[in-house]
Structure 1
Amino acid sequence: MQLIKGQKMDITKGRKLSSLALNFGWTAQVTGIGIDAAAFLLSERNRCERDEDFTFYGNPQSSNGAVTHTPLNSHGREKISISLNRLPQEIARIALTMTIYEGDKQGHTMKQVKDAYLQIVDEGSGEELGRFDYGSDLSDETAVVAAELYQYNGEWKLHAVGSGFNRHCAGYQRLHAEAV
């Protein structure tokens, strides 16, 4: 399923799915630009309550091991794995982001990143559930919320967000409030 910005899809409804691979990919148009994928495990208050709830290259595993970050073999690819049945009950939402490392300081922006995508895969079967190509409408931003996983009526869903912001914007600060 090819997702478009704003679209929502069922992840667990009608499936016996326990683990997801969220594969991020992109093409950097500039040498030396550092790009990182991350997962923010958010509470009902829509906050990342503890450092351990922010999973990225510097913290590659959540405290209970339910979420892991892995760089993939080729440059411009990273994977966030989520074991849905191991997530703590207090986690209501997971924001999946891509950030340019020190983008504001280095003068790098999302207009220097092409072909950004998020591939959603059932880790158990290897089946691709969906793909979201995003970022073609971004320019001066240094980060993007690619998608959000959330629970609704006991089922996990994915919302294709694709919204960019600058590192100092309120949206990024909201997600990052307790994680750094």
Structure 2
Amino acid sequence: MSINLKKGQKIDLTKGGSGLSRIMVGLGWDEAQPAQGGGAFGLFKSKPQPKYEFDCDASVILLNEMGKLYGSNAKDCLVYFGNLKHSSESIIHNGDNLTGAGDGDDEQITVDLSLLPTGVDKLVFVVNIYDGEKRNQHFGMIENAFIRLVDLRNGSEICRFNLTEDYSGMTGMIVGEIYRYKGEWKFNAIGQPVKDAGRLQSLVNLYA
């Protein structure tokens, strides 16, 4: 049975020899619907539609035991739409969704914990609105955002974290993290917004 997490809650993924190794991390979001016109005699018109569609990008930042970027180059420490597969093949991004349209996961990332390099102690899952500042878009204009973990042995959902706060003015989000603790892997639901993160580099710089 899936566990619904609240911000800051943590769960064990591998404790007790569960055998869990391959995980699908699904991230989803919807563009908030504008308020419809109404009121007396239709005097209050609906809000204007945004000029651009929302292009939210999900990425994974790999960190070492010191909480800093793993490795010596971008391909070592980052899996995103420009680098869909880590060299260790432990993390595979299933591709960029340019609009977030449709139900369910908008982007999916597969993680094989058994293949992660020994120097990797944390995987940080982030989402940013591409060029959000330039397009005057922010997470206050997004709804139904979530992250969920699925056990790929049987397709069952392990946990889900729905991001329900008001993130107006923020263009980046640290959604959650999978981290190593005393030889076991855990998941932490974070939901921390980041301002001025329309480009992924701004999120990566937090861990440089």
TM over 0.5: yes
Corresponding pairs, count: 176
The aligned residue for residue 165 of structure 1 is 194
The aligned residue for residue 143 of structure 2 is 114
**Aligned with 1:156 (options 165, 185, 194):** 185
Instruction: State which drifts further: 64-73 or 115-124.
Output: 64-73
The aligned residue for residue 102 of structure 1 is 131
Structure 2 length normalisation: TM-score? 0.78
State whether residues 54 and 98 of structure 2, in contact with CA within 8 Å, keep that contact through their aligned partners in structure 1: no
Q: What SS is found at the alignment partner of 2:185? A: strand
**Counterparts in 2 of 1:21-170, with a 5 A limit?**
21-29=24-32, 30=50, 31-49=52-70, 50-52=73-75, 53-71=77-95, 76=100, 77-167=106-196
Tell me the distance in 2 between the aligned counterparts of 1:58 and 1:110.
22
Letter in 1 for 2:28: G
State the 1:139 CA deviation: 1.1
Structure 1 length normalisation: TM-score? 0.90
Q: Quick one: percent identity of the two aligned structures?
A: 30
Q: What SS is found at the alignment partner of 2:187? A: strand
Choose between structure 1 and 2: higher strand proportion: 1
CA gap 1:74/1:40 in 2 versus in 1, 3 angstroms: closer
Deviation sequence 1:57-99 (CA, Å, 0-9, x none): 1110111111011138895200111100000010011100111
State the 1:48 CA deviation: 2.0
Tell me the distance in 2 between the aligned counterparts of 1:34 and 1:74.
5
Tell me the distance in 1 between the aligned counterparts of 2:147 and 2:181.
21
Structure 1 unaligned spans of 5+: none
Letter in 2 for 1:51: A
**Aligned with 2:23 (options 11, 15, 20):** 20
Structure having the higher Rg? 2
